[in-house]
């Protein structure tokens, strides 16, 4: 069986049953120069009892990467309009609520709701309609995208730390002007919900948006290159962060390019822990006994 056929079977299983037949370890979407980036945004809330299944689906989509020919880049965007129903979502933001409202206007939807899934800024995903889900994701995997790249990420300074990276986008093939956004998101987040519709449940999330900022404009037929920096929230662990950059036509409209990079790659984290242990061991061996 060819690799592409095998991937298609796994994708079919994922759409039908919510998981592939082969177990996989949780991980953020791996960079693949030959895969088409597909941005999937989930508008959700810990105060909404209908949201946990969608949260779990998004985690599986991120970890298993089942869409043939695609690098699925996910974002969990927690709205704040559920906060008055007994539980204040610690990850909620009025900025996210405003972004969803913009989609409501652009897509001609009667009102915002959760959970709501938007693919590449233009199409609502209906998880209960498995045929539509498969068609939308497969179509997005074949859509033309412009190259977007994120250079090495550096985090410097005491709390609050400063995140820096170099962002590039090649818009020579684009037909419309577009905005460039950067989202800093938590790789993994969880809460023990005490009240509200999900009271008593422990909820888990992936790629939870903490900051979403517009960093520039991409003019049609031109390229973009800029250094980006952002102050992290106090106490944020760089080992649990990812940076997502996407290019979106105004409206909000079509997402024509996207990229993802872990702020602190797991391999780098493992090396850092090992070096720290070596340093402690070396320091201990060189410390006079009377000072130990």
Q: What is the DSSP string of 9-24?
A: HHHHHHHHHSS-SS--
| Helices 51-64/3-17 angle, 10° precision | 170
Provide CB contacts within 8 A for 10, sequence distance 6+. 20, 21, 22, 64, 66
Mean pLDDT of the 246-251 span: 96
Q: Do residues 172 and 223 touch, judged by C-beta distance below 8 A? A: yes
**Average pLDDT over the chain, rounded to an integer:** 86
The whole-number pLDDT of residue 19 equals 53
Indicate the CATH number for domain 3-271.
2.60.40.10
Domain ranges for the chain: 3-271
Provide the strand spans (E) within 69-135: 70-78, 116-119, 123-125
Distance CA 140, CA 283 (A): 54
Mean pLDDT of the 114-143 span: 97
Encode pLDDT of 255-278 as tens digits: 999 999 999 875 444 444 344 344
Percent of the chain whose predicted confidence (pLDDT) is above 90:
75
The whole-number pLDDT of residue 283 equals 40
* Kind and range of the H or E run holding 103: helix 94-107
| Residue 8: pLDDT band with limits 50, 70, 90 | low
| Residue 292: pLDDT band with limits 50, 70, 90 | very low
The whole-number pLDDT of residue 20 equals 47
The whole-number pLDDT of residue 34 equals 81
The whole-number pLDDT of residue 235 equals 86
The whole-number pLDDT of residue 160 equals 82
Encode pLDDT of 99-123 as tens digits: 999 999 999 999 999 999 999 999 9
Encode pLDDT of 142-192 as tens digits: 999 999 999 999 999 877 899 999 999 999 999 999 999 999 999 999 999
pTM of the model: 0.84
Q: Do residues 224 and 167 touch, judged by C-beta distance below 8 A? A: yes
**Which of 29-33, 129-133, 248-252 is predicted with the least confidence, judged by mean pLDDT?**
29-33
The whole-number pLDDT of residue 147 equals 97
Encode pLDDT of 198-244 as tens digits: 999 999 999 999 999 999 999 999 999 999 999 999 888 999 999 99
Encode pLDDT of 12-64 as tens digits: 655 655 554 443 444 455 555 689 999 999 999 999 999 999 999 999 999 99
The whole-number pLDDT of residue 200 equals 96
């Amino acid at each position: 069986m060819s690799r592409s056929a095998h991937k298609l079977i796994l994708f079919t299983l994922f759409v039908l049953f919510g998981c592939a037949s082969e177990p996989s370890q949780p991980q953020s979407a791996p960079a693949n120069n030959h895969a088409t980036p597909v941005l999937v945004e989930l508008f959700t809330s810990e105060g909404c009892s209908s949201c946990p299944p969608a949260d779990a689906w998004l985690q599986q989509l991120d970890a298993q990467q089942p869409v043939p020919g695609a690098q699925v880049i996910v974002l969990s965007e927690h709205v704040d309009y559920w906060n008055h129903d007994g539980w204040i979502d610690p990850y909620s933001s009025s900025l996210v609520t405003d972004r969803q409202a913009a989609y409501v206007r652009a897509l001609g939807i009667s009102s915002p709701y959760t959970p709501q899934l938007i693919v590449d800024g233009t199409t609502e995903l209906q998880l209960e309609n498995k045929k539509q889900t498969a068609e939308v994701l497969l179509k997005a995997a074949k859509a033309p995208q412009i190259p977007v790249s994120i250079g090495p990420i550096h985090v410097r300074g005491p709390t609050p730390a400063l995140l820096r990276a170099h962002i590039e986008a090649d818009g020579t093939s684009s037909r419309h002007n577009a905005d460039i956004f950067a989202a800093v998101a938590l790789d993994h987040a969880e809460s023990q919900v005490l009240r509200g519709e999900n009271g008593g449940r422990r909820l888990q999330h992936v790629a939870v948006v903490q900051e979403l900022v517009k960093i520039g404009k991409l003019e049609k037929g031109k390229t973009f290159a800029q250094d980006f920096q952002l102050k992290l929230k106090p106490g944020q662990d760089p080992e649990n962060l990812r940076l997502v950059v996407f290019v979106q036509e105004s409206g909000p409209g079509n997402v024509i390019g996207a990229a993802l990079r872990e702020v602190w790659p797991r391999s780098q984290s493992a090396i850092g822990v090992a070096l720290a242990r070596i340093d402690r061991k070396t320091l201990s061996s060189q410390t006079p006994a009377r000072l130990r």
